[in-house]
Chains A and B, each alone.
Chain A
Amino acid sequence: MSIERAHADHVHEHPTWKQYKWVALVLTVITAVEVWVYYTPFKDSPLFRPTLLAMSAVKFAIVVMYYMHLKYDHAIFRKLFVGPLIIAGCTLVAFLFLFGKVWIG
């Protein structure tokens, strides 16, 4: 848990224009696939939900890492975001269990 000072000489890589456009393309493709599978018979497969959740999680992560440049930034920002995100995620999952939306065993 140490927060060091960011030194001026400690220059981080920064995403470039080209990278931004690649990121946009990937996001668009994933979104297109998401909508596409919605209209295929795969929609009724038991794998539909996990697949869609995974795709959405990937998009989420890409935006946070590149557009919000968390990947390139000071570690403190990662802690400030990921900590609350984990607590929010756990609370959400707990709610699904408590209200009988998800069942184990």
Chain B
Amino acid sequence: MATPATTAAHAPGASEDTGLWSWLTTVDHKKIGILYLYTALFYLMVGGLEAALIRTQLAKPNLSVVSAETYNQLFTMHGTTMVFLVVMPLSAAFFNYLIPLQIGARDVAFPRLNAFSYWVYALGGLFITLPIFFGVAPNGGWFGYAPLSGPTYGSGFNMDFWVLGLQILGISSLAAAFNFITTIINLRAPGMTLMRMPMFTWMSFVVQFLVILAFPVITAALFFLQFDRFFGTNFYVVQAGGDPLLWQHLFWVFGHPEVYILILPAFGLVSEVLPTNSRKPLFGYNVMAYSGMMIGFLGFGVWAHHMFAVGLGPVADSIFSLSTMLIGLPTGVKIFNWIATMYGGSLRFPASMKFAIGLIAMFTIGGISGVMHSSPPSDLQQTDTYFVVAHFHYVLYGGAMMGIFSGIYHYFPKITGRLMNERLGTWHFWLNFIGLNLTFFPMHFSGMLGMPRRIYTYDAGQGWELFNLMSTGGTYLLIVAGLVFAYNFFVSRAKGAVAGSDPWGAPTLEWSIPSPPPDYNFAQIPEVTSRYPLWDLKTPDRTAGLEHSHGDAGAIAAAHAVPVHEETERRTAKELGIPMPVNTIKPFMVALGIIVMFSGLIVLHAGKFPLAMATMLGGGAFMVASLYAWLTSPLE
């Protein structure tokens, strides 16, 4: 075990600069990861409150807690928030924090671009969220179907914020994806071959490709919508011959890969938690990696299963139905591999493990309902009903969120240097588990009984009352669970037991360095000889049967790499002679310029042409000038 004394003295960020300016200018992937984490948890609260209002309105027939218009804004913002401002950024928090640590790197490939991604996300999040306080939040659904979202049927400012907000958030995701792809390809420590990467890094790698291939499609679709709304083009104008199905196709070509963007990082996290707490290597590592790639690839060939109801014809229906059933296979393979990982292991059940097992169970339910609506005849019964709502909450809440909670419990000690309270963690898990099933399981029934999605109220006597009341009750339970988590999070951060560098006896590189890690991560770059370097070091019998080999001698020399070891000393980068990127405000400024530029279009919609031009040109000039300053100043 690590020497706890050294770590204790340096628990939570002692001696480091932690003022506001240091956060605004940081280019350290770990600090940026923490920024993502806090920001996304904040939006989780916002999205949760929206959900609570939605469910309160639906608790009983014909309630009028909120108006129909407010309801539209609430469900639109709930979906948009949870997808783009919560689950993706929570995943990004882990990408940032973990990828460099897991591959033995000192930072990401482009640290300033990384800061830029965060600031575009943070400011873009405000851009799309603040309008709700003025009653002009987006109100056309998280999928923004045209022409409902176009100028004719959505003439207010509401969908302006949605179109532009998503465009802004796309910039953030794309920039981050280029960065992580480069990081994973090019910054792995010597010996860290692709097939030795920790499974979280593998799944993240796949996700970055999904991002760079799926986001351009919605970018194009959003540009069309933007042009229709602001410049009077005809993309989605039916009278001019425009086809509303164009939006639907483009949106779902993006949308289905997007759901894998949401789930694969969570899969990656539990693939770290399960072997660690089973004290046994991941079962079928290769199959896990390849099935991740398969899911990513097939994910581009199933989109029209969201559109069976529009009548695509028997050929298209059959093809998309088959491909959808096919994609269930690699997904199912993962479930079996996790179970096989636990089988015969010496199991331990900290909160992270409970959530990981919870994911396996809950995602399976969501996967099964997914395969149910992969069949067009059966989907026609289910589409646009609460049955689909049940499906995607089992995969998103039961899958993605449970996986992320698992990851938070697992990595909290690495990030803060302190352990989370296990007793509260157990409470959180069970409240969450019961709450989520109470909320979402009844939706299968209300959906099958014909309750449509996106209605703000309903009449009594259709057999939906009990199920809705259960769902609302479950939601309140989830809020209690959330409060327990928040309490645990903040109290543990201040007073939790000191963790040491490797509290779980985990096998991968991030656990070989102090908690929290020093800014340079690794004083000496480790040379990796197997998939489980720390188990090789501490419990070699666990990994004796696995492949071990030394890498290229030239590479090892070039990287000044030394055999994998535990680093316990804490010295500054300067003492060690490690060049570090300098903090800079420029990425923030470029992000700000972009937001101002986009805001100009809102002013344009308000009919103030000169002011709009001034805003756009001003924002654009500010962006270009900041970018120029950024590119001409050295990194280190």
Q: Which residues of A contact B (CB under 8 A)?
A: 1-3, 5, 7, 76, 80, 83-84, 87-88, 90-91, 94-95, 97-99
A3 touches B312 (CB 8 A): no
Residues of B within 8 A of A84 (CB): 212-213
Residues of A within 8 A of B217 (CB): 91
Question: Which of A3, A5, A99 is the one whose CB lies under 8 Å from B194?
Answer: A3
User: What is the distance, in angstroms, from A55's C-beta to the closest C-beta of chain B?
Assistant: 27
Closest to B257 in A: A87
A87 touches B243 (CB 8 A): no
A7 touches B554 (CB 8 A): yes
Q: Please, how many angstroms separate the alpha-carbon atoms of A99 and B246 in the complex?
A: 9
Can you give 19 A-B contacts (C-beta < 8 A)?
Answer: A1-B194, A2-B193, A2-B194, A3-B185, A5-B552, A5-B554, A7-B554, A84-B212, A84-B213, A87-B213, A90-B300, A90-B301, A91-B217, A91-B253, A91-B300, A98-B249, A98-B312, A98-B316, A99-B246
Q: Please, how many angstroms separate the alpha-carbon atoms of A76 and B316 in the complex?
A: 34
Decide yes or no: A99 and B213 within 8 Å by CB, A2-B193, A91-B253 being known contacts: no
Q: Please, how many angstroms separate the alpha-carbon atoms of A7 and B297 in the complex?
A: 31
Q: Which residues of B contact A (CB under 8 A)?
A: 181, 185, 193-195, 209, 212-213, 217, 243, 245-246, 249, 253, 297, 300-301, 304, 312, 316, 552, 554-555
Q: Is the interface of A mostly helix, strand, loop or mixed?
A: helix
Q: Please, how many angstroms separate the alpha-carbon atoms of A20 and B243 in the complex?
A: 45
User: What is the distance, in angstroms, from B484's C-beta to the closest C-beta of chain A?
Assistant: 43
A76 touches B249 (CB 8 A): no
Residues of B within 8 A of A3 (CB): 185, 194
User: What is the distance, in angstroms, from B272's C-beta to the closest C-beta of chain A?
Assistant: 21
Residues of B within 8 A of A90 (CB): 300-301
User: What is the distance, in angstroms, from A64's C-beta to the closest C-beta of chain B?
Assistant: 18
Q: Please, how many angstroms separate the alpha-carbon atoms of A84 and B300 in the complex?
A: 11
Residues of B within 8 A of A88 (CB): 213
Contacts A91-B253, A91-B300, A94-B301 known; 5 new A-B pairs at CB < 8 A: A5-B554, A88-B213, A90-B301, A98-B249, A98-B312
User: What is the distance, in angstroms, from A74's C-beta to the closest C-beta of chain B?
Assistant: 10
Closest to A98 in B: B316
Residues of B within 8 A of A1 (CB): 194-195
Q: Please, how many angstroms separate the alpha-carbon atoms of A87 and B552 in the complex?
A: 34
User: What is the distance, in angstroms, from A43's C-beta to the closest C-beta of chain B?
Assistant: 26
Closest to A83 in B: B209
Q: Please, how many angstroms separate the alpha-carbon atoms of A92 and B101 in the complex?
A: 39
Decide yes or no: A98 and B304 within 8 Å by CB, A5-B554, A87-B213 being known contacts: yes
Closest to A105 in B: B315
Question: Which of A5, A7, A83, A97 is the one whose CB lies under 8 Å from B316?
Answer: A97
User: What is the distance, in angstroms, from A75's C-beta to the closest C-beta of chain B?
Assistant: 12
B194 touches A95 (CB 8 A): no
User: What is the distance, in angstroms, from B294's C-beta to the closest C-beta of chain A?
Assistant: 13
Residues of B within 8 A of A7 (CB): 554
B243 touches A5 (CB 8 A): no
Residues of A within 8 A of B301 (CB): 90, 94
A99 touches B312 (CB 8 A): no
Q: Please, how many angstroms separate the alpha-carbon atoms of A99 and B312 in the complex?
A: 9
Q: Please, how many angstroms separate the alpha-carbon atoms of A88 and B245 in the complex?
A: 19
User: What is the distance, in angstroms, from B104's C-beta to the closest C-beta of chain A?
Assistant: 15
Question: Which of B245, B246, B249, B300 is the one whose CB lies under 8 Å from A87?
Answer: B300
Residues of B within 8 A of A76 (CB): 185
B554 touches A99 (CB 8 A): no
User: What is the distance, in angstroms, from A79's C-beta to the closest C-beta of chain B?
Assistant: 10
The 4 tightest CB contacts between A and B, nearest first, are: A87-B300, A5-B555, A84-B213, A87-B213
Decide yes or no: A95 and B249 within 8 Å by CB, A84-B212, A87-B300 being known contacts: yes
Residues of A within 8 A of B213 (CB): 84, 87-88
User: What is the distance, in angstroms, from B606's C-beta to the closest C-beta of chain A?
Assistant: 36
Closest to B293 in A: A1
Q: Please, how many angstroms separate the alpha-carbon atoms of A7 and B553 in the complex?
A: 12
Closest to A76 in B: B185
Residues of A within 8 A of B316 (CB): 97-98
Residues of A within 8 A of B304 (CB): 98
User: What is the distance, in angstroms, from A90's C-beta to the closest C-beta of chain B?
Assistant: 8
User: What is the distance, in angstroms, from A103's C-beta to the closest C-beta of chain B?
Assistant: 10
Question: Which of A2, A94, A99 is the one whose CB lies under 8 Å from B243?
Answer: A99
Q: Please, how many angstroms separate the alpha-carbon atoms of A76 and B185 in the complex?
A: 9
